[in-house]
Amino acid sequence: MLSEPALQALEKGHYYDFQLIGCSVITEKNEEIGKVEAILRIKDNDLLVVREKKKEVLIPFVESICIEVNVQEKIIVVNPPDGLLDLNEI
């Protein structure tokens, strides 16, 4: 496996899956949602599969919702629309 410095640099706002998996997902109000367990690739945008114990939610990985991504600190800050976190429960 290539080390991270040996990987090709991606455009701003693009990330390798391994950089996102394991990130803590929190709201702007510092409420913990869970950790990224996987990335679902779908036609129009990717979805973060976020798990908190037995609860799993799907969060669209778009700039309007995922407002800050810090792969060094393994944190993704989200601003989910009302009901998104409940609507997407699996």
| pLDDT score at 45 | 86
Q: How many domains does the chain have?
A: 1
Is residue 39 situated within a structural domain?
A: yes
Residue 60 and residue 47 in contact, taking contact as beta carbons nearer than 8 Å? yes
For 83, the domain range is 11-87
Cβ proximity of 24 and 10 under 8 Å: no
Q: Give pLDDT tens digits along the chain (90 positions).
A: 445 566 777 777 788 899 999 999 999 999 999 999 999 998 888 999 999 878 899 999 999 999 999 999 999 999 999 888 886 554
User: Could you tell me if residue 64 is inside a domain?
Assistant: yes
Is 73 within the bounds of a domain? yes
Strand partners, 24: 35, 75
Within a domain: 4: no
The candidate with the shortest Cα–Cα distance to 33, out of 72, 86, 71, 69, is: 86
pLDDT of residue 67: 95
At 58, which CATH number?
Answer: 2.30.30.240
Amino acid at 72: Q
